[in-house]
Amino acid sequence: MASIANRRSLMVLYSDKVSPLGHAVRIVLAEKDVNVEINYIDDDKRPEILNELNPYNTILTLIDRDLVLYDPQIIMEYLDERFPHPPLMPVDPVSRASNRQLRYRVMNDLYSMISDIDSDNEIAAANAKKVLRDNLTAIAPVFLQTSYFMSEDYTLVDCCIAPLMWRLTQYGIKLPMSGKPLQEYSNRLFERQAFSTSLSSEEKEYHEH
């Protein structure tokens, strides 16, 4: 496995074109302006190298010389440590732990709904959309206090939330008026150059009408 990775001098990311988790990783890469080769993979045309490198049969995989990573949170933290500027994690241990906890909650409370939303089970999809909309609406007041998620600094938490907010229209979710602070926060994320750079051609189409 290492010999395959060692033949590559450039960092390589395998990602599908529409997964919000893959998108979050690509946002971090764009924020750091990393020289990376991004290979967009269709699930039914998975290259053999992924089967050799990734034991979990998932597409999202980062290769940096002899290092192979396939968990999105580990990938994002590795990129932040590997490329320190601009920093996307706080410096002190307490704030770093808080940042990880917030990302855990984003994964647990928000991202966990996506598989049901994308499923063919209409009842499960409708329930998941309602839960996602309600959870997002519940956190909207947070953005009246700070420019970013629980912080005045842009961090990995924001990198995780941006792909979800970009997909709300695609998911058929419309926030109520009480969600306006969250929508305004999202628009600030979408205006970042790195966010624009991170988009696949399919993701760009989500907001083209």
Q: Is residue 203 in a domain?
A: no
Least confident of 5-19, 50-64, 148-162, 176-190: 5-19
Q: Which long-range contacts (CB under 8 A, 24 or more apart) does 172-175 make?
A: 172/129, 173/129, 173/132, 173/133, 173/136, 174/133, 175/133, 175/136, 175/137, 175/140
Of 24, 6, 122, 126, whose CA–CA distance to 63 is shortest? 6
Same domain, 75 and 103: no
Q: Is residue 208 in a domain?
A: no
Q: Which amino acid is at 66?
A: D
Residue 153 reports pLDDT greater than 90: yes
Residue 172 reports pLDDT greater than 80: yes
What predicted TM-score, i.e. pTM, was given to this entire model?
0.91
**Over the stretch 17-62, which tens digit does the pLDDT of each residue have?**
999 999 999 999 999 999 999 999 987 788 888 888 889 989 999 9
Same domain, 97 and 183: yes
Average pLDDT over residues 162-169: 96
Please give the residue range of the domain that contains residue 37. Answer: 2-82
Which band of pLDDT confidence, cut at 50, 70 and 90, is reported for residue 9?
low
Q: Is residue 173 in a domain?
A: yes
Q: Is residue 206 in a domain?
A: no
What tokens were used for 131? 């839960």
Q: Is residue 139 in a domain?
A: yes
Order of strands, edge to edge, in the sheet holding 61-64?
36-40, 11-15, 61-64, 67-69
Same domain, 62 and 131: no
Total domains in the chain come to 2
Same domain, 115 and 185: yes
Distance CA(38)–CA(171), nearest Å, equals 25
Q: Which amino acid is at 136?
A: L
CA distances from 195 to 86, 166, 175, 204 (A): 15, 10, 21, 11
Q: Determine whether 188 is exposed, middle or buried from the number of CB atoms within 10 Å of its CB (0-12, 13-18, 19+).
A: middle
Q: Is residue 182 in a domain?
A: yes
Q: Is residue 199 in a domain?
A: no
Q: What CATH number has the domain bearing residue 25?
A: 3.40.30.10
Provide the mean pLDDT of the chain.
91
Give, as one character, the DSSP assignment of residue 148: B
**Over the stretch 53-103, which tens digit does the pLDDT of each residue have?**
889 989 999 999 999 999 999 999 999 999 999 999 999 999 999 999 999
Distance CA(132)–CA(113), nearest Å, equals 7
Of 28, 133, 136, 122, whose CA–CA distance to 74 is shortest? 28
Same domain, 105 and 141: yes
